[in-house]
A = this chain, B = another copy of it.
Amino acid sequence: MAQKLTLKKIAQDLKVSISTVSKALRDSYEISEETRKKIQEYAKQYNYKPNSIALSLKNQKTKKIGIIIPEIVHHFFATVISGVEHVANEKGYQVIICLSGESFDKEVVNMEMLANGSIDGFILSLSKETMSKQDFHHLREVINQGMPIVMFDRVADDIPGDKIIIDDVTAASEATDFLMRKAKKNVGILSTVDYVNVGRLRTQGYSEALMKRGVEVNQDLILKIEDIDHCDELIEKFIDNNPSLDGIVAVNELFAVTASKILLRKGKRIPDDVAIVAFTDGMLSKYSNPSLTTIGQNGYEMGGIAAAKLIDRLEQDQKDEERYETVIVKTSLIERESTP
């Protein structure tokens, strides 16, 4: 038997993007009439039925949850999945995982695949490309079919659904304040470029903490890293340019442990000369030398809440769309050797 016609196949055959096919089939004004017509006729000719199985199984429960995450080599996402598995299994649900690999197209095709009758609902953290495109039509499509989506960490504010996030501004502010309470006078931040949400929000929290204590924000003490693969050189230059630096907030443990190694190599003592607090409580923070004080993002808890929210919504009889919730999961400061 032939391969089933999918969005991807239509896109390949007609040499247009997956997103264009998807939008044309929904008759979106964003696509020219000519292209729309061509795609719609092709789909009709080959009898393409968008999510036909999903429609026919509308009332049949699969007792399965689909997770789509950007990547797997990342402690945070791994802990979220463990949390989802725990709660889902307890409630008799099985879990299927797909990876977007930070690609918009892969997110769209994986979503189409799982929505085709394989699962009852989604738990989702958006790919970087989706965030930068701000194109959420695939989420709307699935929601319009009556399939609930719970988003975590990287969420689309305007999409109806429950959202599980941490308060990055408050967490970064607390970390900065913690260093200042330890008598650190020149606290800097190792952050990412602003288009990455968490980097922007954590830099904001850092600045707010300084201002609350009447300390002026010094732009020299803010490093915005774009290219993670070359963070070594950037961090070393940052340290050399700021000889009075005595505290560091890092938006991830990789930046923190890199800074720690460079400081030790230069003969600085941690935490006496420079203290460090890092986001992400992963293996690196726990086992590096010195071990790192971190802000735990409680991924396991986030995953559990996401699963519970989704299953609640799947098992309630009435739709209650007005009552979508955004849950803010508390972060926790875990003190280790890198702070006094």
A9 CB to nearest B CB, Å: 9
| Chain B residue at smallest Cβ distance from A291 | B261
Whole-angstrom CA separation of A62 from B101 in the bound complex = 21
Give A89 to B100 CA distance when docked, in angstroms: 11
How far does the alpha carbon of A257 sit from the alpha carbon of B61 in the complex, in Å?
47
Partner-contacting stretch, out of A106-114, A183-191, A215-223, A327-335 = A106-114
**Hey, what's the 0/1 contact readout for A87-100 against B, CB within 8 Å counting as 1?**
00100001111110
Complex-state Cα separation, A101 to B89, whole angstroms: 11
Shortest distance in angstroms between A61's beta carbon and chain B's nearest beta carbon?
6
Interface positions of A from 251 to 293, Cβ below 8 Å from B: 254, 257-258, 260-261, 264, 282-284, 287-289
- A1-39 contacts to B, CB under 8 A, are 1, 3-4
Which residues of A in the span 56-81 have a Cβ within 8 Å of any Cβ on B? 59-64, 72-73, 75, 78-79, 81
A1→B60 contact, CB < 8 A: yes
**Cβ–Cβ < 8 Å partners of A79 in chain B:** 73
A residues near B, CB below 8 A?
A: 1, 3-4, 59-64, 72-73, 75, 78-79, 81-82, 85, 89, 94-99, 101, 106, 109-110, 113, 118, 254, 257-258, 260-261, 264, 282-284, 287-289
Other A-B contacts than A4-B60, A94-B98, 18 sampled, CB-CB below 8 A, are: A1-B61, A64-B113, A72-B72, A72-B78, A72-B97, A73-B79, A94-B109, A94-B110, A95-B98, A96-B98, A97-B99, A257-B287, A260-B289, A261-B289, A264-B289, A283-B284, A284-B288, A289-B289
